[in-house]
A and B are shown apart, each in its own frame.
Chain A
Amino acid sequence: MNYMDEFRDREVVRGLAARIGELAAGRTRPLTFMEVCGTHTMAIYQYGLRSLLPPQVRLISGPGCPVCVTPNGYLDRAVALARLPGTTIATFGDMVRVPGSSSSLMEERARGAEIRVVYSPLDAVALAERQPERRVVFLGVGFETTAPAVAGSILAARERGLANYFVLAAHKTIPIPMEVLSADPELGIDGYLCPAHVSAVIGAGAYRRLAEERRVPCVVTGFEPADVMQGVAMLVRQAVAGESRVEIQYRRVVKPEGNPKAQAVLAEVFTPCDTAWRGIGVIPRSGLAIREEYASFDAEKAIPVEVETPREHPGCRCGEILRGKVSPFDCPLFATVCTPESPVGACMVSSEGTCAAAYKYGR
C-alpha cells in the first residue's frame, strides 16, 4: 500500500459514481458544489470526474489557486525587487511565468535578474546563508498549507542570525472567502468540497460557521479521484437530507482540530489582515501579514522599492473564473491568445489554475 494507488482504483471510482447517481436520483433542481483548492481542480479534470457524475450534480471551481488569486500588484513588486542589485528572488516554480502588469520574473531572468526556483522556503534560507553578500527574497504565496512552512523559514532565519533573508508575503486564508461566495445567489452553492491539506493545518472545525450558520454542507475531501467521488457522494447525501454539517472524508490525514503546532508557528509570525483577491476584491481578514516583531524579514517593509501602477489584461476573464461565474471555455482568449506557452492570465500559468487544467485535460 502506498496510500495513493488504492484511492485511484477505477472500479471504486465507478462504484462511487453509481452511488452518487442513486443518491441524486429524482432531484429536479441540480446541485452545485464548489471546490476551492487547485489540487482538487486538477484531479477533477485529470480523471474526467465530471463525465462520471449524473446531470443533477454540477462541480464548479472556486478561488483555489493561490498564484491565480494574487493580484498583479504583488508580482509587480516582485519584479521591482528582482531589478535591485544584489537581490536574489527565490520562489516556487509556479510564480516564474505569471505575467505581471508589464513583465514577469521569467523576462527579468532573461534580462539578468537572479531568480531561483526552490522546493522549500528552507532552501531559500540556506541560499541566504551561503550568499551573505546578497539579499534573498522568498515569494510567500499560498494558503494555510504553505503559510506555516514560510513562517518556519522566518523562524529558522532568525535562529541562524540571518539579516539577508526576506519574505514578500501574500498568504491567504480560505474560510472567509468561502463564506463570501456562499452568499452569492447567482452561484447558488449547495456545498463545498473543502480543501485537503489546508484542513490538515486549520482543522475541519474551521468550516463550522459556514455549515451551521450559513447552512452550507461542507466535506473535507482528499485529492485522489476516489476521495473526490466519495466527498461528492457525502455532499449529495447531506443536501438531499436537508442537512448542513462539516464531515471529513479525508480522515486519514485531517482531524477536527487540525495541526495545533502548525497553527502556533503560523500565528507566531503572521497576523490576519485585509487582502485583495483577484476577481473578488478586498476581503477583510482573509490575508496574513508578517507581525511587527518580524518586520526586519518583511520584504515589503524592509526593502523600499518603486512599483509600477498595476493593471490587468482587459480581455482576461480570470477574475470571473476564480469566482466560479464562468468556465474557461467562456473566455474569448482561452486556447487562442492565451495558452500555457504564452499565458495572458494567471489561471493559465499555474499548474493548478482552472484554465491550465481545462487546457490540458478538458478539451
Chain B
Amino acid sequence: MCLGVPMRVVGIDGANIVAEIDGVRRAASLMILDEEVREGDYVIVHAGFAIARLDEAEAEETLRLMREAFSEADMG
C-alpha cells in the first residue's frame, strides 16, 4: 500500500501536477509536498499525492556505491 513510483513531472498547475510513467499520466496533489518541483523533476506519487521529490544526484551516488561494492566483490 505504501507503494509509490517515481514519476516525471510533465505539467504544473498551481497546487497540482501531472506526472508520467511509461506513457501513463496521472494528476497528483502538491498539498503535502514541502519542496518546489519543476517540470522534468521526478516525484514519488502515492494515492494521488506527491510525497517526496527524488534527488537525482543522490540516486547517481547510490548507484555508484552499489557498483563499487559489485566490483570489489568481483575482484575478491
Contacts and interface: CB of A to CB of B under 8 A. Distances in A.
B44 A197 contact: yes
Given A3-B6, A122-B48, A146-B47, A65 B32 contact: no
B4 A145 contact: yes
A37 interface: yes
Interface in B41-68: 42, 44, 46-49, 51-52, 54-56, 58-59, 61-63, 65-67
B62 to A, nearest CB: 6
B34 interface: yes
Contacts of A38: 1-2
A233 B26 CA distance: 35
Contacts of B55: 251-253
B18 to A, nearest CB: 14
Contact of A226 (B5, B58, B66): B66
SS class, residues of chain B in contact with chain A? mixed
Nearest to B8: A2
Contacts of B1: 38-39, 65-67, 92, 94, 141-143, 145-146, 350, 352
A259 B52 contact: yes
A233 B72 CA distance: 13
A118 B69 CA distance: 42
Nearest to A222: B62
Among B2, B42, B55, max chain A CB count under 10 A is at B2
A149 B6 contact: no
Interface string A30-71: 000000011100000000000000000000000001110000
A198 interface: yes
B5 A252 contact: no
A18 interface: yes
Interface stretch (A4-12, A162-170, A310-318): A4-12
A121 to B, nearest CB: 6
Contact of A121 (B47, B56, B66): B47
B49 A148 contact: yes
Contacts of B67: 12, 15
Nearest to A17: B73
A16 B73 CA distance: 8
A19 B61 contact: no
A127 to B, nearest CB: 13
B58 A251 contact: yes
Contacts of A1: 56, 59
Given A3-B42, A39-B3, A200 B34 contact: no
A107 to B, nearest CB: 22
A333 interface: no
B2 A261 contact: no
Contact of A16 (B4, B31, B33, B70): B70
Interface of A: 1-4, 6-7, 11-12, 14-16, 18-19, 21-22, 37-39, 65-67, 92, 94, 119-123, 141-143, 145-146, 148-149, 152, 155-156, 195-198, 200-201, 223, 226-227, 230, 233, 249, 251-254, 259-262, 265, 350, 352
11 contacts: A16-B69, A22-B76, A120-B47, A145-B1, A146-B46, A146-B47, A230-B62, A251-B62, A253-B52, A259-B33, A259-B52
Interface of B: 1-6, 8, 21, 26, 29, 31-34, 42, 44, 46-49, 51-52, 54-56, 58-59, 61-63, 65-67, 69-74, 76
